[in-house]
Structure 1
Amino acid sequence: MPLSPDQQAEIDDLRANPQPTLRAVSPGMEQHLYKAHDVLDHGFIRVIDYMGDDNAITQAARVSYGKGTKSVSNDEGLIRYLMRHWHSTPFEMCEIKLHVKLPVFVARQWIRHRTANVNEYSARYSILDREFYIPAPEHLAAQSVVNNQGRGEALQGEEAARVLEFLKSDSNRAYDHYQQMISQDDQQGLARELARMNLPANIYTQWYWKVDLHNLFHFLRLRADAHAQYEIRVYADAICEVVKDWVPFAYAAFEDYRMGGANLSGKAIDCLKRMLAGEDVTQETSGMSKGEWREFEGIVR
């Protein structure tokens, strides 16, 4: 199960005892507080705390102006302007703290985003649970023949069964040895900080991850993209659903300008102008490499 009994009891207690506050709240985010959203086979995300809302973004942008200069329609327009022109500082006024349970190999990708505060479950002090990420059959894919860091078609039949058996048996064997090494029954036992090195990268870890909205959008732009690895993308997708309820104006602008938009180089803009003028532009006359041209065609064709 994604949540331990103790974690579920803590959540139930917190939700049963709401506290009054004078700070600004987001009604959409309040519905997510202390609720776990399941991800993969044993993982989850849950919101521990947050600060700010759409109003906090526009308030920061209008720091020199009074409240009389704003309206709901102006707020949405201002947020879209800020997003469109890459004015990032106002989005830093909002923060979110998440509790995430995820496989170690996903955590190692995630931690490359060095713009957050992180505190991870420590296997130096505690014993990790026997929980491993085992992909569903449709996510057991072969290596892509055109992308060194991507997947090809899903494995089928006996090949898929063989790989699944390896993943399950190797994970459990490693954990059995982990337990035996730290056992205190009639033996001294290996230190936990050393015994953990025998564990596979698909074992689950947990952390608290706190980040501002600007850097969260950067994370989501990369990790919720269709080209991102599936196992981290599903976490990003789950976070997107939370952010959409938290800051609806900001998320809509992010979805439009970042997720749904495209950046064009000077050469690409020049080619687009020539095409609009009726010229038949080819890769050879574009001044772009084959890779650049292929990406450009993917945008404009």
Structure 2
Amino acid sequence: MSMITVLDKGYVRLVNHMGSDLTVVNAARVSYAKESKELNERDMKLITFLAREGHTSPFRHVILQFEVYAPLMVARQWWKYVVGSAHQEGTGDTLEAWNESSRRYITEDPAFYIPSAQEWRGKPENSKQGSGDVVAWALGDKYTQELMEYVEEGVRKYEAALQDGVCAEQARLFLPAYGMYVRWYWTASLQAVCHFLNQRLEHDAQKEIQEYAKAILQLSQPLFPNAVGELLK
């Protein structure tokens, strides 16, 4: 399995990867001019030690590349990890790259995340951010319908502007932004991927990005079972 669907129209696709648990081990053992040919129990203990003690550079020799299709509100949360990867205390650059499709150049039919009636959440009781319990179905249905109408109106104005000869990079101003799906490639070291997972799998992370983090975990863990398991402890 290389692709997992997320939300109503989104997905995560594993495009490519480099390395294995053995790559992590040998990146660490090169300090002593040693190399393991096959992963053994001693190697697995070394992975545990490296993760526990914060010796993260060996995990940066393993690379994963994903294609992600997600609402803009998810993409912009995710993007912060790329911006901050060079500034994480004690780690240095965790090796990340991001290339995103642009509506300056493409005019494919826009797609939008529309929560169903049972997916709208109320504000939390004891926090200024995040969300609480699911709201009543009638209220959720009301806002599902209103969001659909709002999106449809924006798309009509966007298409009318294109028909009138307005450039794509300005016509896109009519598209409702935060729910619009965008597509990007995310290439990152295993350390960077697990840093993302450690934060976005938490119960207090935004639910929508939690769903994408679960997909990333499901695609990554079979490739590097020992390293992922230790970095997520």
C-alpha contact 2:117 2:143 (8 A) present in aligned 1: no
169, 172, 176: which is aligned to 2:156? 176
Paired with 1:104 and 1:145, the residues of 2 have a C-alpha distance of: 26
2:65–2:185 CA contact under 8 A, matched in 1 = yes
- Does 1:82 pair with 2:50? yes
Higher relative contact order at CA 8 Å, sep ≥6: structure 1 or structure 2? 2
- TM-score of the aligned structures, taking structure 1 as reference length: 0.70
SS of residue matched to 2:81: coil
Report what 1:198 is aligned to.
174
What is the Cα deviation at residue 160 of structure 1? 1.4
Q: Deviations over 1:107-164 (max 9, x none)?
A: 1111011232111111001014231101133320111121111112211132111111
Q: What is residue 243 of structure 1 aligned with on the other side? A: 220
User: Which residue among 193, 198, 205 is the counterpart of 1:228?
Assistant: 205
In structure 1, C-alpha distance between the alignment counterparts of 2:10 and 2:39, rounded to whole Å = 41
Partner of 1:112, secondary structure, is helix
Runs of 4+ in 1 over 2 A off after TM superposition: 64-71, 136-139
- Tell me how far 1:58 sits from its aligned partner: 0.3
For 1:66-97, what per-residue CA distance to the aligned partner results, in whole angstroms no more than 9, with x for missing partners? 33697510111000000000100000000011
Secondary structure in structure 1 of the residue aligned to 2:222: helix
Aligned equivalent of 1:166: 146
Q: Gaps spanning 5+ residues in structure 1: where?
A: 1-31, 257-301
**Equivalent position SS for 1:154:** coil
> What residue number does 1:46 align with?
13
Q: How much has 1:176 moved relative to structure 2?
A: 1.2
Q: Distance in 2 between matches of 1:68 and 1:99?
A: 32
1:119 paired to 2:96: no
Q: In structure 2, how many angstroms separate the alpha carbons of the residues matched to 1:178 and 1:89? A: 47
Q: 1:100 aligns with which of 58, 68, 71?
A: 68
Cα distance 1:217–1:71, how it changes in 2: closer, same or farther (>3 A)? closer
Uncovered stretches (5+) of structure 2, i.e. residues with no partner: 86-95
Amino acid at match of 2:198: R
Which stretch has the larger CA shift, 189-198 or 151-160?
151-160
- Matches of 1:127 and 1:71 in 2, distance apart? 49
Note the alpha carbon deviations across 1:31-68, whole angstroms, 9 max, x for none: x4xx3210111110111111111000000000023336
Structure whose CA Rg is larger? 1
Does the CA-based 8 Å contact 2:22-2:38 persist in structure 1?
A: no
**RMSD after superposition:** 1.6
TM-score, normalising length: structure 2? 0.89
Partner of 1:216: 193
Q: Is the 8 A contact 1:128 1:205 kept in 2?
A: no
Structure 2 distance, partners of 1:175, 1:68, is 57
Report how many aligned residue pairs link the two structures. Answer: 219
1:275 alignment partner in structure 2: none
* Partner in structure 1 of residue 184 of structure 2: 207
Report if aligned partners of 2:119, 2:140 keep a CA contact under 8 Å in 1.
no
**Aligned equivalents of 1:60, 1:66: Cα separation in 2:** 9
